[in-house]
Amino acid sequence: MGREECSVISYANIDRIEGNFAVCEVELIPFEESMPEDFKTKKTVMINISLSEFPTDVGSAREGDVFVVSHDSEKIKTVLYKDEEEMKRRLGILKQIFN
């Protein structure tokens, strides 16, 4: 029998758009354990995700958007949904840092 990899549900932040891909910083921990203020110490990986993989009900995916994704380390299985509350939390922390 082959070894099955377990999916992790994590946050993916769109760093930039390049052509038909979103270059995303994907956390390597479950989103329930994610603390936005720990952004300097989180283990993350950069993954290109085709823009066609993003849910169409959220409109265009843009830089700075935060999505919840299912992945096996460096392979995205599904982009689940956009997390507006997490985006707001992260923006609030950045404002505190830079003000």
Q: Which tokens sit at 96?
A: 């505190």
Give the 3-state secondary structure of residue 5: coil
CA distance 14 to 97: 20
d(CA 30, CA 8): 6
What pTM value is reported for the model?
Answer: 0.83
Using DSSP's 3-state secondary structure scheme, residue 58 falls into: helix
Domain boundaries, the chain: 8-98
How does pLDDT run along the chain (99 residues), one tens digit per residue? 444 557 899 999 999 999 999 999 999 888 888 876 566 667 889 999 999 999 887 677 899 999 999 998 788 999 999 999 999 988 888 788 887
Amino acid type, 5 = E
Per CATH, the architecture of 8-98 is what?
Beta Barrel (2.40)
